[in-house]
Structure 1
Amino acid sequence: MTDLYAVFGNPINHSKSPSIHRQFAEQTGQDMHYTKQLVNEGEFEKAAQEFFEQGGKGLNITVPFKLNAYAFAQQRTARAERAGAVNTLARLSNGTILGDNTDGIGMVHDMHNLGWELEGKRILILGAGGAVRGVLQPLLEENPAQVVIANRTFAKAEELAKNFLDLGDVQAKTFEQLVGETFDIVINGTSASMQGELPPLPDNLLAENACCYDMMYGAEPTIFLRWAKDFGAAHVADGLGMLIGQAAEAFYLWRQIRPEVVPVITAMRRQIAEKNKQ
């Protein structure tokens, strides 16, 4: 019996999840079928209920339904509770629907694959939205020296920092307060880079050998990664590895098998480059 999985979102056409999970299944010899489903706003619960009632084993959840998925889950992992959002649902053997958030661990694993050291480092995160909230716990579990959250709306960054203070040294700052500070790792967690916008960052922000990571990805380097290169970053990476890393973590939750992510990242990079040429 082929096990059924899907990704729910709106819009959904652009989703790379079916391709990623197909590659994982082939690589690990799993009998599973994975589709993408457009869900209308306000109909998430009904669609998810139907999916699981018809024998579905697991769902990936993308924009704008991560909060709906959080509410839908009957049980949640500690990291999903912390993130306040769910991007993966799994039907357990007893029928319970478990909610998890694999975004943060996907990003951390990608950084490990890139050979980036997180322990003892000063990390700056730009933005204070859901994407940032989702990665804070896994980041802090790597024991950085400090995590600073910078956001246009200081109150939002401050609230986020307070929520995670029990896990490590987390501070909120305005962009103006970053002047004179240096960081080993800078992570862009805003979607502004996709619109070609950059937060007002001071010039001397990057420490020696600094690494810069954009959670967004595209065929061309984002404006943030171009900024990073211009200001002397030793290493830069976009969020494609995070996307594939969070999918691998979801796959592990569903199948108890860890797929190899590097060959899939390589294949997807090639696809994106070819599509860009057309």
Structure 2
Amino acid sequence: MLNIIKAGFFTTLQDQGRFLFRNMGVPVSGVMDTMAVSKINALLENDDNDAVLEITMTGPVLSFEEPTFIALGGAEMAVFLNDLPIRNYRVYQIKKGDVLSYGKLENGIRNYLGVKGGFTTEPILGSRSFYKPVTQHNSVKDHTSLPYGICKDFKPKITELKVDASIIEAKVLKVYKGPEFQQLHPNQLEQLFYTEFSVAKENNRMAYQVNETIEGYQVSMLTSATLPGTVQLTPAGKLIILMKDGQTTGGYPRILQLSDEAIAVLSQKKSGDHFTFKLI
């Protein structure tokens, strides 16, 4: 078991998500930064869908009841194993009673903790990802625990990855044309691709809003399917970028669709961070 001594600001359990229930209104959920988590699970030689902890802004204090191996990735944060600093994208051996604690956030906003074999909570609708009300809680709580398998002997093929920190700092979001893209007129297109947008304070796992506006969209449309990464344009010219816990349908025009890479890049942005769109 992993004991949650202090949960941190917003720490959740996530895998790649639940994909077969969107017709019932259930969001995909899953990890926001798939690029980071894929590297962590690869280092640990896990399945890509093995569950990890997603740690947002302020990290937890954790103690391990059983031996295992861990790897971290995503946002750069000060992390300590028994008071000794450890770093991202490196495999560390864990002994019974070891304590992992988080300090200052340095770059990005979401860090990930993976264990050998993944966390082994009971899947709900085919996924371990937290999403209330599908799951009992929307984040881990103080003085609770998460199960994982015991692992005493593991010789990883690769013990460390050199990952360019510029991934966290990237400012270009690669996007595809959305279903209503063709209905935008030239002035809207110019504003969309030549404006440097900044993340508004309204940003979370459901959606990111931006501070800047473009010319609005006044034509009504039927409620239609949306996906993580769908960019909606409101009549007032606000852009709403749906994320992993975003609703499955919406009534605003879907003008762009973020690539998987762009979702990961945006997921590491905090309020005030800047980005631009690039059509691919």
The TM-score, its normalising length taken from structure 1, stands at 0.29
More strand by percentage: 2
Structure number with higher helix proportion = 1
TM-score w.r.t. the length of structure 2 is 0.29
Between 1 and 2, higher relative CO (CA 8 Å, sep ≥ 6) is seen in 2
